Homo-oligomer: A and B are copies of this chain.
Amino acid sequence: MKKFRIGLIRVLTSDDQDFIDIHGRFIEERFPHLEVESRCIPDQWEGIHNHELKRIAIPKIVETAKGFKDVDMILVSCADDPGVREIREALPGIPVTGGGETTAALASRYDGKVGVLGIVDYAPEAYERMLSGRIIVAKPENVDSTLDLTTPQGRENCLKTGQLLKDAGAAVIALGCTGLTTIGITKDLEDFVGIPVIDPVLAQGVFACFEAVRRMS
């Protein structure tokens, strides 16, 4: 089977290509027929953790998307899907999606309330739109940017918040930030709370899988 090539955009600036490649490697390890080239946007060292940072990021994300050569699909590796619609307009004919709408779509398959665990106290746009009336949002204490997730305290607060969401009636947890994938918490969180957890980097990988095979005859 020919490899299906993905251009993946990180919305957190880094000069460490190993770090930039984390989401791409995560996808390649799970789906061997996908090949991921990862790039990050410039000058966004704290990523996106409010509406203003999202607004500033969008044109940079579109430019980064335009820079990929010979890719079969573009993924914006962020639960807020910044620039997804704008890339679709700028590059018609290439499939484009992001961590948010794919997580919301996978979560929609489960019955019951969806707990959204991220780094802001609002749900990402796609979760609101696609799961409206079914979501409960909670933010871990003292976690305000993706960087705060990397401390032991940040990690512990995430687990506690997961439990809180379950106690509040969530039947499934949709992670609201791809930084949670970066710290590798998905499986630990699922073991800790005992309900399914949807990882946004994996979710976009699943949709890339779908895109890779759906026109096979």
Contact = CB atoms under 8 A, between A and B. Distances in A.
Nearest to A217: B187
- The quantity of this chain's copies bound in the complex is 2
A120 to B, nearest CB: 22
Contacts of A196: 214
Contacts of A101: 109
Interface stretch (A13-21, A25-33, A71-79, A161-169): A25-33
Nearest to A102: B109
Interface residues of A, number: 32
A213 B31 contact: yes
Contacts of A109: 97, 101-102, 104-105, 130, 207
Interface of A: 1, 29-33, 97, 101-102, 104-106, 108-109, 130, 184, 186-187, 190, 196, 199, 202-203, 206-207, 209-210, 213-217
Given A199-B214, A202-B213, 15 more contacts: A29-B216, A30-B216, A97-B109, A102-B109, A105-B106, A105-B109, A106-B207, A106-B210, A186-B214, A187-B215, A196-B214, A203-B210, A206-B206, A206-B210, A209-B209
A213 B30 contact: yes
A130 B134 CA distance: 11
